[in-house]
Chains A and B, each alone.
Chain A
Amino acid sequence: MAGSVPVMITTGSRTSVAASLLLLLFAMPNQLPEFDRPSLDEVVVGDQFEPLKGIQLSTTTGGFLTQTASVAAWVFEVAKKLDALGKLRPDWDSHGGLSLNQKSRDLTLNMLGWLASEELPTPAVVLGSAGNVCLEWRAKGRELEVDLGDGEKIAFVKVFPDGSIEEGERQTNLPTELRGLTSWFMHGELPPAR
Protein backbone atom coordinates (compact mmCIF):
# COMPACT_ATOMS: atom_id res chain seq x y z
CA MET A 1 0.00 0.00 0.00
CA ALA A 2 1.52 3.29 -1.01
CA GLY A 3 0.61 6.89 -1.67
CA SER A 4 -1.78 9.24 0.04
CA VAL A 5 -4.62 8.07 2.20
CA PRO A 6 -7.36 10.43 3.37
CA VAL A 7 -7.93 10.60 7.08
CA MET A 8 -11.42 11.17 8.43
CA ILE A 9 -11.82 12.97 11.70
CA THR A 10 -14.94 13.96 13.58
CA THR A 11 -14.26 16.71 16.05
CA GLY A 12 -15.55 16.53 19.61
CA SER A 13 -14.78 18.82 22.51
CA ARG A 14 -12.24 21.58 22.23
CA THR A 15 -9.61 19.44 23.87
CA SER A 16 -10.30 16.13 22.33
CA VAL A 17 -11.31 14.57 19.10
CA ALA A 18 -14.16 12.16 19.57
CA ALA A 19 -14.50 8.70 18.17
CA SER A 20 -14.96 8.04 14.48
CA LEU A 21 -11.34 8.68 14.00
CA LEU A 22 -9.24 6.83 11.58
CA LEU A 23 -5.79 7.74 12.70
CA LEU A 24 -2.80 6.58 10.85
CA LEU A 25 0.04 6.15 13.21
CA PHE A 26 3.34 4.56 12.79
CA ALA A 27 4.42 1.58 14.80
CA MET A 28 7.90 0.39 15.53
CA PRO A 29 9.07 -1.85 12.69
CA ASN A 30 9.56 -4.75 15.06
CA GLN A 31 6.08 -4.51 16.46
CA LEU A 32 3.99 -4.74 13.33
CA PRO A 33 4.37 -6.29 9.92
CA GLU A 34 5.87 -3.98 7.38
CA PHE A 35 3.68 -1.94 5.09
CA ASP A 36 4.28 1.06 2.94
CA ARG A 37 3.27 3.91 5.14
CA PRO A 38 0.40 6.09 4.06
CA SER A 39 0.50 9.83 4.14
CA LEU A 40 -1.82 11.89 6.25
CA ASP A 41 -2.87 14.70 3.98
CA GLU A 42 -6.59 15.20 4.11
CA VAL A 43 -8.99 15.57 6.97
CA VAL A 44 -12.74 15.75 7.25
CA VAL A 45 -13.66 17.89 10.23
CA GLY A 46 -17.33 17.57 11.14
CA ASP A 47 -19.34 18.13 7.99
CA GLN A 48 -16.72 20.31 6.42
CA PHE A 49 -14.18 18.80 4.13
CA GLU A 50 -11.02 20.60 5.01
CA PRO A 51 -7.64 19.72 3.61
CA LEU A 52 -5.04 19.78 6.33
CA LYS A 53 -2.63 22.08 4.56
CA GLY A 54 0.94 20.95 4.38
CA ILE A 55 0.62 17.77 6.40
CA GLN A 56 2.75 15.06 4.82
CA LEU A 57 3.60 12.21 7.11
CA SER A 58 4.41 9.56 4.56
CA THR A 59 7.47 7.39 4.72
CA THR A 60 8.51 4.48 2.63
CA THR A 61 9.31 1.74 5.09
CA GLY A 62 8.02 0.34 8.35
CA GLY A 63 4.45 -0.29 9.45
CA PHE A 64 1.36 1.65 10.32
CA LEU A 65 -1.30 1.30 12.91
CA THR A 66 -4.95 2.02 12.32
CA GLN A 67 -6.67 3.00 15.50
CA THR A 68 -10.19 4.01 16.41
CA ALA A 69 -10.02 5.92 19.64
CA SER A 70 -10.31 9.24 21.31
CA VAL A 71 -7.34 11.29 20.33
CA ALA A 72 -6.31 14.44 22.15
CA ALA A 73 -6.18 17.69 20.21
CA TRP A 74 -2.51 18.28 20.98
CA VAL A 75 -1.61 15.22 18.92
CA PHE A 76 -2.80 16.95 15.75
CA GLU A 77 -1.06 20.17 16.68
CA VAL A 78 2.19 18.29 17.08
CA ALA A 79 1.66 16.57 13.73
CA LYS A 80 1.22 19.94 12.04
CA LYS A 81 4.31 21.34 13.70
CA LEU A 82 6.27 18.25 12.74
CA ASP A 83 5.26 18.78 9.15
CA ALA A 84 6.52 22.36 9.33
CA LEU A 85 9.86 21.18 10.70
CA GLY A 86 10.22 18.91 7.69
CA LYS A 87 10.36 21.92 5.39
CA LEU A 88 13.48 23.43 6.92
CA ARG A 89 16.64 23.21 4.83
CA PRO A 90 20.16 22.47 6.08
CA ASP A 91 21.71 25.43 7.94
CA TRP A 92 18.24 26.74 8.73
CA ASP A 93 19.53 27.91 12.13
CA SER A 94 22.64 29.65 10.69
CA HIS A 95 24.79 27.31 12.78
CA GLY A 96 24.88 24.35 10.39
CA GLY A 97 21.73 22.70 11.71
CA LEU A 98 20.54 19.62 9.85
CA SER A 99 17.14 19.02 8.32
CA LEU A 100 14.60 16.87 10.12
CA ASN A 101 15.96 13.38 10.82
CA GLN A 102 13.56 10.79 9.45
CA LYS A 103 14.09 8.35 12.30
CA SER A 104 13.49 11.04 14.88
CA ARG A 105 10.35 12.02 13.00
CA ASP A 106 9.16 8.42 12.91
CA LEU A 107 9.75 7.98 16.63
CA THR A 108 7.81 11.19 17.23
CA LEU A 109 4.90 9.74 15.29
CA ASN A 110 5.08 6.56 17.32
CA MET A 111 5.08 8.65 20.47
CA LEU A 112 1.93 10.40 19.29
CA GLY A 113 0.30 7.01 18.90
CA TRP A 114 1.36 5.86 22.35
CA LEU A 115 0.16 9.05 24.02
CA ALA A 116 -2.80 9.78 21.75
CA SER A 117 -5.40 9.58 24.48
CA GLU A 118 -3.42 11.52 27.09
CA GLU A 119 -4.73 15.00 27.81
CA LEU A 120 -1.69 17.23 27.60
CA PRO A 121 -0.99 20.81 26.61
CA THR A 122 0.41 21.26 23.13
CA PRO A 123 4.19 21.16 23.46
CA ALA A 124 6.77 23.10 21.55
CA VAL A 125 8.02 20.85 18.77
CA VAL A 126 11.61 21.92 18.45
CA LEU A 127 14.11 20.98 15.79
CA GLY A 128 17.54 20.28 17.22
CA SER A 129 20.87 20.94 15.58
CA ALA A 130 21.21 17.29 14.56
CA GLY A 131 17.77 17.18 12.96
CA ASN A 132 16.33 15.63 16.11
CA VAL A 133 12.88 16.43 17.41
CA CYS A 134 12.46 17.66 20.96
CA LEU A 135 9.05 18.12 22.59
CA GLU A 136 8.95 20.71 25.34
CA TRP A 137 6.12 21.19 27.84
CA ARG A 138 5.95 23.95 30.43
CA ALA A 139 3.16 24.43 32.99
CA LYS A 140 2.43 24.62 36.71
CA GLY A 141 6.06 25.30 37.52
CA ARG A 142 7.17 22.08 35.88
CA GLU A 143 8.93 21.55 32.59
CA LEU A 144 9.42 18.41 30.57
CA GLU A 145 11.69 18.12 27.57
CA VAL A 146 11.73 14.88 25.59
CA ASP A 147 14.42 14.60 22.94
CA LEU A 148 13.65 11.94 20.32
CA GLY A 149 17.29 11.97 19.23
CA ASP A 150 18.10 9.81 16.25
CA GLY A 151 15.03 7.68 16.75
CA GLU A 152 16.77 4.95 18.72
CA LYS A 153 16.25 6.25 22.24
CA ILE A 154 14.87 9.22 24.11
CA ALA A 155 16.54 11.68 26.44
CA PHE A 156 14.51 13.67 28.90
CA VAL A 157 14.88 16.65 31.19
CA LYS A 158 12.55 17.30 34.10
CA VAL A 159 12.59 20.74 35.68
CA PHE A 160 10.94 20.78 39.10
CA PRO A 161 9.13 23.75 40.63
CA ASP A 162 12.14 24.48 42.83
CA GLY A 163 14.30 24.80 39.73
CA SER A 164 16.18 21.54 40.19
CA ILE A 165 16.83 19.50 37.08
CA GLU A 166 16.81 15.77 36.45
CA GLU A 167 17.88 14.26 33.17
CA GLY A 168 18.11 10.76 31.81
CA GLU A 169 17.87 8.47 28.82
CA ARG A 170 15.62 5.54 28.01
CA GLN A 171 15.99 3.00 25.25
CA THR A 172 13.49 0.28 26.11
CA ASN A 173 9.81 0.12 26.94
CA LEU A 174 9.36 3.61 25.53
CA PRO A 175 5.54 3.74 25.64
CA THR A 176 5.52 3.12 29.39
CA GLU A 177 8.46 5.42 30.00
CA LEU A 178 6.84 8.25 28.06
CA ARG A 179 3.53 7.83 29.88
CA GLY A 180 5.44 8.02 33.15
CA LEU A 181 7.16 11.23 32.10
CA THR A 182 3.98 12.94 30.94
CA SER A 183 2.17 11.76 34.06
CA TRP A 184 4.90 13.40 36.14
CA PHE A 185 4.50 16.57 34.12
CA MET A 186 0.75 16.71 34.59
CA HIS A 187 0.46 15.48 38.15
CA GLY A 188 3.82 15.71 39.89
CA GLU A 189 5.67 12.80 41.40
CA LEU A 190 2.71 10.59 42.16
CA PRO A 191 0.44 9.38 39.39
CA PRO A 192 -3.25 10.09 39.91
CA ALA A 193 -5.36 7.47 41.66
CA ARG A 194 -7.40 5.44 39.20
Chain B
Amino acid sequence: MDRHDDPTINGDMVLLRRIPPYGDRVQWDDRTGEPTPSSQNFKDRNNELSTFLAAEITADAALAGHDGFGLVQFTAGRVREALGSGIIFCRDTSDPTPGHVIICGKVTDGMARRFRSIASWVPGRWPARLRPEA
Protein backbone atom coordinates (compact mmCIF):
# COMPACT_ATOMS: atom_id res chain seq x y z
CA MET B 1 0.00 0.00 0.00
CA ASP B 2 1.29 3.46 -0.86
CA ARG B 3 2.06 5.57 2.15
CA HIS B 4 1.86 9.35 2.02
CA ASP B 5 3.00 11.86 4.59
CA ASP B 6 0.10 13.60 6.30
CA PRO B 7 1.04 17.28 6.68
CA THR B 8 -1.84 17.83 9.11
CA ILE B 9 -0.02 15.83 11.77
CA ASN B 10 1.82 18.62 13.51
CA GLY B 11 4.57 18.37 16.07
CA ASP B 12 2.31 18.91 19.08
CA MET B 13 0.04 16.00 18.29
CA VAL B 14 0.23 13.14 20.76
CA LEU B 15 0.51 9.59 19.48
CA LEU B 16 -0.12 6.34 21.34
CA ARG B 17 1.45 2.92 20.86
CA ARG B 18 0.50 -0.40 22.42
CA ILE B 19 3.19 -2.23 24.36
CA PRO B 20 2.84 -5.99 24.81
CA PRO B 21 3.44 -7.62 28.20
CA TYR B 22 5.10 -10.57 26.46
CA GLY B 23 8.48 -11.23 24.90
CA ASP B 24 10.43 -9.45 27.65
CA ARG B 25 9.32 -6.21 25.98
CA VAL B 26 9.03 -4.52 29.38
CA GLN B 27 11.60 -4.50 32.18
CA TRP B 28 10.50 -3.87 35.74
CA ASP B 29 12.72 -1.93 38.11
CA ASP B 30 13.28 -4.01 41.24
CA ARG B 31 13.64 -0.90 43.38
CA THR B 32 10.88 1.38 42.10
CA GLY B 33 8.59 -1.24 40.61
CA GLU B 34 8.28 0.88 37.47
CA PRO B 35 8.28 -0.59 33.97
CA THR B 36 10.57 0.46 31.14
CA PRO B 37 9.72 -0.51 27.57
CA SER B 38 12.40 -2.16 25.47
CA SER B 39 13.74 -0.32 22.44
CA GLN B 40 12.37 -3.18 20.36
CA ASN B 41 8.88 -1.78 20.94
CA PHE B 42 9.81 1.06 18.62
CA LYS B 43 10.90 -0.97 15.62
CA ASP B 44 8.79 -2.74 13.04
CA ARG B 45 9.91 -5.47 10.66
CA ASN B 46 8.15 -3.73 7.78
CA ASN B 47 9.29 -0.26 8.81
CA GLU B 48 5.67 0.64 9.56
CA LEU B 49 5.21 1.49 13.20
CA SER B 50 1.56 1.48 14.19
CA THR B 51 0.32 4.32 16.41
CA PHE B 52 -2.91 6.18 17.18
CA LEU B 53 -3.62 9.87 17.45
CA ALA B 54 -4.61 10.51 21.06
CA ALA B 55 -7.01 13.23 19.94
CA GLU B 56 -9.02 10.75 17.93
CA ILE B 57 -9.16 7.64 20.09
CA THR B 58 -9.47 6.87 23.77
CA ALA B 59 -6.92 4.78 25.63
CA ASP B 60 -9.59 2.16 26.23
CA ALA B 61 -10.31 1.93 22.53
CA ALA B 62 -6.61 1.72 21.64
CA LEU B 63 -6.26 -1.20 24.01
CA ALA B 64 -9.55 -2.90 23.21
CA GLY B 65 -9.10 -6.63 22.74
CA HIS B 66 -5.55 -6.55 24.03
CA ASP B 67 -5.71 -7.53 27.68
CA GLY B 68 -2.55 -6.85 29.61
CA PHE B 69 -1.07 -4.49 27.04
CA GLY B 70 0.26 -1.09 28.07
CA LEU B 71 0.17 2.22 26.27
CA VAL B 72 2.93 4.77 25.75
CA GLN B 73 2.64 8.28 24.38
CA PHE B 74 4.92 10.71 22.54
CA THR B 75 4.50 13.74 20.32
CA ALA B 76 5.04 13.70 16.59
CA GLY B 77 7.57 16.50 16.95
CA ARG B 78 9.75 14.57 19.36
CA VAL B 79 9.61 11.56 17.06
CA ARG B 80 10.80 13.68 14.16
CA GLU B 81 13.64 15.00 16.31
CA ALA B 82 14.64 11.50 17.41
CA LEU B 83 14.35 9.72 14.08
CA GLY B 84 15.29 12.44 11.63
CA SER B 85 13.91 13.29 8.25
CA GLY B 86 13.79 9.73 6.95
CA ILE B 87 10.40 9.02 8.43
CA ILE B 88 6.91 10.15 7.53
CA PHE B 89 3.55 10.02 9.30
CA CYS B 90 0.89 8.29 7.26
CA ARG B 91 -2.83 7.96 7.89
CA ASP B 92 -4.05 4.40 7.58
CA THR B 93 -7.36 5.04 5.90
CA SER B 94 -7.99 1.34 5.43
CA ASP B 95 -8.27 0.77 9.17
CA PRO B 96 -11.74 1.34 10.62
CA THR B 97 -10.14 2.15 13.96
CA PRO B 98 -10.05 5.94 14.22
CA GLY B 99 -6.81 7.85 14.36
CA HIS B 100 -4.56 5.07 13.06
CA VAL B 101 -1.25 6.62 12.01
CA ILE B 102 1.72 4.67 10.72
CA ILE B 103 5.24 5.97 11.21
CA CYS B 104 6.94 4.88 8.00
CA GLY B 105 10.68 4.58 7.49
CA LYS B 106 13.71 2.58 8.48
CA VAL B 107 14.37 2.65 12.22
CA THR B 108 17.75 1.32 13.32
CA ASP B 109 18.39 -0.08 16.79
CA GLY B 110 20.01 3.18 17.83
CA MET B 111 17.05 5.18 16.56
CA ALA B 112 14.71 2.85 18.41
CA ARG B 113 16.68 3.50 21.60
CA ARG B 114 16.28 7.26 21.08
CA PHE B 115 12.60 6.73 20.40
CA ARG B 116 12.32 4.85 23.68
CA SER B 117 13.74 7.87 25.51
CA ILE B 118 10.97 10.19 24.35
CA ALA B 119 8.10 7.82 25.15
CA SER B 120 6.29 7.86 28.45
CA TRP B 121 3.54 5.71 29.87
CA VAL B 122 0.00 6.91 29.54
CA PRO B 123 -1.05 7.37 33.19
CA GLY B 124 -2.71 4.24 34.51
CA ARG B 125 -1.83 2.23 31.42
CA TRP B 126 1.14 0.15 32.42
CA PRO B 127 1.16 -3.34 30.95
CA ALA B 128 0.44 -6.36 33.08
CA ARG B 129 3.44 -7.65 35.01
CA LEU B 130 3.83 -11.28 34.09
CA ARG B 131 5.79 -13.87 36.00
CA PRO B 132 9.30 -14.43 34.65
CA GLU B 133 9.54 -16.44 31.45
CA ALA B 134 5.85 -15.94 30.75
Please give the residue numbers on chain A whose beta carbons come within 8 Å of chain B beta carbons, in ascending order. 54, 80-81, 83-85, 88, 92-98, 124-131, 134, 136, 138, 143, 145, 147, 155-157, 159, 165-167
A129 and B40: CB pair below 8 A?
yes
B41 closest partner in A (C-beta): A93
Sampled A-B contacts (17; CB under 8 Å): A81-B24, A88-B22, A88-B23, A92-B22, A94-B18, A94-B20, A94-B69, A124-B27, A126-B23, A126-B25, A126-B38, A126-B40, A127-B22, A129-B43, A131-B45, A134-B39, A159-B113
**How big is the B interface, by class?**
20 to 34
Give the contacting residue for A167; candidates B69, B110, B132; CB below 8 A.
B110
B39 and A157: CB pair below 8 A?
yes
B66 closest partner in A (C-beta): A94
A83 and B133: CB pair below 8 A?
yes
Bits for B39-70, please: 1 = Cβ < 8 Å to A, else 0: 11001111001100000000000000010010
A84 closest partner in B (C-beta): B133
Contacts of B6 in A (CB 8 A): none
Is B114 part of the contact surface with A, judged by Cβ < 8 Å? yes
A145 and B23: CB pair below 8 A?
no
Contacts of B132 in A (CB 8 A): 81
B57 CB to closest chain A CB (Å) equals 15
Q: Considering the chains assembled together, what is the distance between the CA atoms of A128 and B40 in angstroms?
A: 6
A124 and B24: CB pair below 8 A?
yes
Q: Considering the chains assembled together, what is the distance between the CA atoms of A78 and B50 in angstroms?
A: 29
Contacts of A157 in B (CB 8 A): 39, 109-110, 113
Contacts of B44 in A (CB 8 A): 95-96, 129
Is B120 part of the contact surface with A, judged by Cβ < 8 Å? no
A167 and B133: CB pair below 8 A?
no
B27 and A165: CB pair below 8 A?
no
B27 and A136: CB pair below 8 A?
yes
Q: Considering the chains assembled together, what is the distance between the CA atoms of A81 and B24 in angstroms?
A: 8
B133 and A80: CB pair below 8 A?
yes
A138-B27 contact, Cβ under 8 Å, with A81-B133, A129-B40: yes
